[in-house]
Amino acid sequence: MQNHQIETDLSKIQRLASFREDENFRFRTFLKGKDNAKTDEIVHRLHEELTRQIDCTLCGNCCFHLQPELHHDDMATLARLENIAPETYRDEYCEEVEIGAFFLKSKPCRYLEGKICRVYENRPDECKDFPYTGKEDFIHRTYSMIEFYGICPIVFNLMERLKKELQFSDKRYR
């Protein structure tokens, strides 16, 4: 196993995301021609390596920038923690983006204290699953990965390692 430098400096990641945006969209096009199952195999291995090395609870950057979708179970759990009815929680703290799709209203997240989630053990499913790099069909989720590239050190490092492993040459896709 190669020793890879891990980038966790959020300001550097954000700068590089802006600088590499076009490259990342070309990489997305490059990935469309790859075998989905083989790509998932690589992505899941990288996900395991990176999540062992990067502690999300020391970052919390996703909680500053994203608004998780809340399912009814999530709203019921959070309402119980707030000592209010689920309907009251939904009306006060959620916004309905489309019929039946509710998102936490506040940015940064109302449960973020510094970089720590006050409800970590009871956080919504969307928060538990983020950054979604352990899920299937990575190739079909590259648009959101590009969005998360500048926010999440796991996504940033995973995408950069994936480019190397798949021998992506941006020059061929310009």
How far apart, in whole angstroms, are the C-alpha atoms of residue 28 and residue 22? Answer: 10
pTM to 2 decimal places: 0.91
- 10 Å CB burial of residue 171 (0-12, 13-18, 19+) is exposed
How far apart, in whole angstroms, are the C-alpha atoms of residue 24 and residue 146? Answer: 7
pLDDT in tens, 62-72: 999 999 999 99
* Structural domain spans, the chain: 10-59+131-173, 67-128
Q: Place 128 in a pLDDT band, splitting at 50, 70 and 90.
A: very high
pLDDT in tens, 83-103: 999 999 999 999 998 888 999
Say if residue 173's pLDDT is above 60.
no
3-state SS assignment for residue 68: coil
- 10 Å CB burial of residue 97 (0-12, 13-18, 19+) is exposed
